[in-house]
Amino acid sequence: MLYEFAGYDTAQWPDSYWRASTPAQLSHQAVQGAVRSDVAVIGAGYAGLNAALELVERFGLRVAVLDAAQPGWGASGRNGGFCCLGGAKLDAATIARRTGQDGARAWQDFELAAIARVRDNLQRYDIDAHATETGEVLLSHSRNAWARMQRDAAQDEAAVLWDRQALLDQGLNTAAYHGGVYVPHGFGLHPMAYAAGLARAARAAGVCIFGNSRVTALQPDGGGWVLDTATGRVHAKQVLIATNGYSDERLPRWIARRILPALSNVMVTRPLSRAELAAQGWTRQLMAYDARIMLHYFRLLPDGRFLFGARGGLSFAPDAVARFAARARAEFEVIFPAFAQAETQYCWNGLVCLTGSLAPYIGPVPGAGGLWLALGWHGNGVAAASEGGRRVARALMGEASAPPALSRRAPSRFLIPRKAALRLGMMAAALRDGPVRPVG
């Protein structure tokens, strides 16, 4: 794996607000002895659990889900809780060039269907994930970014431009952004509550979920597959790998260097007082993020705490994590000076997953019949992984066109060492983004 063991140690849960605010969940036992299923799913996150639900509910199959830890340990339980558009790191023009206009429209449809999927899951399975108001706002960190944003918004009928005064009027005031564009799609949620609810629903539907069951070997066997763990073995006709940035790149080796796990860091403050919120002028629970390459993402939570996330970092080593957390906290205080006295109560990190194609891959492993992948959500997996899991389940059952064309293109390998690629990319991003500073 690309980083230090500390980032993958399933015996250690992140010090996250989501974990602390989720009631104790059922612990799923490890695989014991021999288990047989129609489909084995590796990874009990949004993609894996949605795929399992689809395979059981729509097709009536026997499904076993194996996780190296427990549902919600990975990215599905430690992200920022943004159920929003996204999933690829490509602009609309690039997607159209790659897939044609029909493919571009299919990708747009997929993004909207992904948000609708999460809403349907919450309702269908009676999951209280503390959903917040609809929509998200993209904020411009520089005059050039604001000019580009205004040009781009002219091409999107759903987009609404807000200058600095409009942001203040909307209850979205900061010290560091020139304006923003509001899009009426998506909503915030409690990601751990969502992951735990999916696990409960899958178990109720008849899915066998095995925790503490890291797959150590994956081998073809008589038209099917055998998955070995430390305590048992699963025989399955087909296998889906849905482990995203936490994938073991030896299982299978085809994955090696086709994905690029990248660190994302999140902090949550103590509850803010009404006076603090009024002093800053940020009173909405709207999802927000900025136009930086190394973006910041943030939102006011239902209990009055403030969540602030930042992309970056190259190591899970404690000193490196502490340095990046201190930098992110300093940037938070520049953007929200009225919150400077609100101490950080929770701080954690985790991995998002990029691919060599900068788009998700939802499809088969070439040359390995019955082995499938669904991963690479590029930091927007709440919605995209949920719908991607449903689509890959249909593809397993013969509906090859269920995943959108953009996601059916196998990602290429990174040609240079990935840590070096990240380091160079972050240096270039820092030059383009510029420092976080007040508008003025």
Could you tell me the two tokens for 298? Answer: 């943030």
- The answer to whether residues 145 and 181 touch, using CB atoms and an 8 Å cutoff, is no
pLDDT tens track for 351-360: 999 999 999 9
- Residue 42 gets which letter from DSSP? E
User: 338-397, pLDDT tens digit by residue?
Assistant: 999 999 999 999 999 999 999 999 999 999 999 999 999 999 999 999 999 999 999 999
3-state secondary structure of 350: strand
Integer Cα distance of 327 and 331 in angstroms:
6
**Per-residue pLDDT tens digits for 188-247:** 999 999 999 999 999 999 999 999 999 999 999 988 999 999 999 999 999 999 999 999
Nearest CA-CA partner of 39 in 169, 167, 230, 227: 227
Round to whole Å and give the CA distance between 438 and 163.
15
Tracing tokens 């751990």 back to the chain, one arrives at: 192
Report domain extents, the chain: 13-80+192-258+356-421, 133-185+271-342
Q: Which residue has the tokens 């899970």?
A: 316
Which homologous superfamily is 133-185+271-342 in? D-Amino Acid Oxidase, subunit A, domain 2 (3.30.9.10)
Task: Please state which CATH number belongs to domain 13-80+192-258+356-421.
Answer: 3.50.50.60
CA gap 45, 261 in Å, rounded: 16
- pLDDT at residue 26, rounded to an integer: 80
Asked whether the beta carbons of 373 and 241 are under 8 A apart, the reply is yes
Element (H, E) at 264: strand 259-269
Counting Cα atoms < 13 Å in the Cβ hemisphere of 185 gives: 22
Over residues 2-47, the pLDDT tens digits come to 999 999 999 999 999 999 999 877 899 999 999 999 999 999 999 9
Please state, in angstroms and rounded to a whole number, the distance separating the CA atoms of residues 133 and 270.
Answer: 21
In one-letter notation, the amino acid at residue 207 is: V
Quote the tokens at residue 304: 């009055």
